[in-house]
């Protein structure tokens, strides 16, 4: 499994825990519209990913995330070599 697929699987697991087992997510999923996430849910999502991958995601980066793919790419770059 590629690093990208591993990260996507982690995100999918987190979202299914909160949205239900039938919730579908892809790299193209819009964080706010498709995931129906308000600002509190988005921050919970980000904090969970920071803990999972032992990274810090600055607010500036969060503001630039539009899709799940954006988040996956960011995490993949920050965890390269780990």
Residue 63 pLDDT class (50, 70, 90 cuts): very high
Q: What is the C-alpha to C-alpha distance for residues 59 and 46, in angstroms, rounded to an integer?
A: 10
Q: Is 59 a catalytic residue?
A: no
pLDDT band at 39 (very low <50, low <70, confident <90, very high): confident
What is the pTM (predicted TM-score) of this model?
Answer: 0.90
Q: Which is the catalytic residue, given 17, 38, 51, 63?
A: 38
Q: In the Cβ-directed half-sphere of 39, how many Cα atoms lie within 13 Å?
A: 2
Q: Tell me which CATH code domain 3-78 carries.
A: 1.10.1200.10
């Amino acid at each position: 499994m590629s690093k990208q697929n591993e990260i996507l699987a982690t995100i999918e697991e987190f979202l299914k825990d909160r949205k239900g087992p039938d919730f579908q997510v892809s790299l193209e999923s819009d964080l706010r519209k498709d995931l129906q996430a308000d600002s509190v849910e988005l921050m919970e999502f980000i904090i969970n990913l920071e803990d999972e991958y032992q990274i810090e995601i600055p607010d500036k980066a969060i503001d630039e995330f539009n899709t799940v793919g954006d988040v996956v790419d960011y995490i993949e770059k920050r965890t390269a070599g780990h």
